[in-house]
Chain A
């Protein structure tokens, strides 16, 4: 891999998994390096599953836990309906992910790696199975597990709890940081894309990693762009790339109404805020984060309030229904949003109640599922402020009632029964 060039994670033929031999021919042999965690720290790699926490800090925390046995869990659940990056990565360079997982395992003192793929992603399950079969034994046990494909099943405590107890339910944690445990042994859990970056940094080092990206914002990231675009697509971009350039590359509607960033628990950016670089620091100035690398474009023909309502209704349905404020609060705000969407008499009350309920729900679940919904709703009210005013005045735009919806939301009426096991 030459420095300064992209793609790196997606090098090769998209959707044709590189065999182990092809993988080694492309990337070279993986040699264990004793200083891996320092190198990850120098590289400034942050988690790509949502929270953007420094990967080296997390790994050191688990390395320093006592215990004769540890696990590494690769989170390839990808529960965001608008996210396709982890699936594409595993469909292109599965061995890069496995390399990264083995390297992390050695660095924290683990002998076991679990790759978790949602069981309804049957193609990915096959691809990972094949990669595991053809891979030579390098002293680390690699295993595929297939939890149910539900949104909260990818939340870290729910995922580990499923691996441990066959139940995809998030766990209440009174204190953070928490050490996740599998059969009582400490677990290092990282997102699939994060782990693939480790596979590259383990080979080429931190300076190579930073040979793309902006100052202080090193490296590349996978972005799933969907919505008002010619074709939904996954791009590998250098951090610091202008968001406008990402939208153009995906052939997005050239004058969007707004963009949803990060995921369905992410942040809406209004059209006026789109002149921003895609990296942690620049997005933070707009109150946003790259999250799980999701970008949903909403065009002028669509109603942002309607889109928000559809997403919240789906997210409410995905609640694990363990915590009252989440189980009752999310359906309630979905209903408020429906009133606001329809406009007229109830809309103003609905908006007021929505703001009040967001404040009440926030921070009161065992996991951050409701907090994500609240963030998304609050930023929707800000990004679509003019539309909100029109709806309150009884003048919802045409898109509120009919026409194209863009956010990909599994159809609720076709949802199978809730499966947690």
Chain B
């Protein structure tokens, strides 16, 4: 708590493992949408690791996935663009 974590994360789904029952959508509705066949549509834009709420629901989803098809992947936040000289 209170520790500021830099960088961002995305959820990734292994579509071969995924069974399409959409459990993850219920556990992390802000990060996972669902298609008309029940398969998860993962939000593509990275979420800041500092967004504790989202990170927590991502972890819920990963732990709750019955097929171990979900993974949290850390992505580096884009570097601060260099200032023009």
How far, in whole Å, are A42 and B39 apart by their CA atoms in the complex? 45
Q: Which residues of B contact A174 (CB under 8 A)?
A: 12, 14, 71, 73
Interface CB pairs A-B, < 8 A, 15: A172-B14, A174-B12, A174-B71, A323-B18, A324-B15, A324-B18, A324-B39, A325-B15, A325-B37, A328-B39, A329-B35, A329-B37, A364-B39, A366-B14, A366-B15
| Cα–Cα, bound, A360→B36 (Å) | 9
A365 at interface, CB cutoff 8 A = yes
* Chain A: minimal CB distance from B61 (Å): 17
* Residue B16 CB within 8 A of the other chain: yes
Q: How far is the CB of B27 from chain A (nearest CB, A)?
A: 18
Instruction: Please state if B37 and A324 are interface contacts (CB–CB under 8 Å).
Output: yes
Point out which of B37, B39, B41 has the most chain A C-beta atoms below 10 A from its C-beta: B39
Chain B residues within 8 Å of A325, by CB: 15, 35, 37, 39
Q: Nearest 6 CB-CB pairs, A to B?
A: A323-B15, A324-B39, A328-B37, A324-B20, A322-B16, A172-B14
Complex interface residues of chain B between 18 and 77 (CB less than 8 A to chain A): 18, 20, 35-39, 41, 71, 73
Interface size on A, residues (CB 8 A): 15
Interface bracket on B: 10 to 19
CB distance from A168 to the nearest CB of B (A): 14
How far is it, in angstroms, between the C-alpha of A326 and the C-alpha of B16 when the chains are bound?
A: 10
| A174-B71, A324-B20 given; A360·B35 CB < 8 A | yes
Residue numbers in B under 8 Å from A324 (CB-CB): 15, 18, 20, 35, 37-39
Extra A-B contacts (12), CB below 8 Å, given A174-B14, A322-B15? A174-B12, A174-B73, A324-B18, A324-B38, A325-B37, A326-B15, A328-B39, A329-B35, A360-B36, A364-B15, A364-B39, A365-B15
Q: How far is the CA of A364 from the CA of B35 in the complex (A)?
A: 11
Q: Mark A364-389, 1 if CB is under 8 A from B, else 0.
A: 11100000000000000000000000
Contact with B along A315-355 (1 / 0, CB 8 A): 00000001111101100100000000000000000000000
Query: Chain B residues near A364 (CB, 8 Å)?
Result: 15, 39, 41
